Amino acid sequence: MSSSPDPSRTSVPPTLVLDLDGTLVDTASDLVATLNVILDREGLPGLEFDKARGMIGNGARAML
């Protein structure tokens, strides 16, 4: 009996795709909403979407 696996029975591992820069899904509204929750918890005023949108794409450190 062969010890090699049968290629027809080999399963493909699950794949996880992360879209952190918004090229596949526009998540800007979610990021701005989350930013405003954080700002509120810190006692700071929230930002309007258009102003905060310009901060997205430069990394979390730049946005925060």
19 is catalytic: yes
- 19, 21, 30, 40: the catalytic one is 19
Structure tokens, 25: 């899904």
Give the separation between CA 63 and CA 54, rounded to whole angstroms.
Answer: 9
Report the candidate in 35, 38, 40, 39 with the shortest Cα–Cα distance to residue 54. Answer: 35
Residues designated catalytic: 19
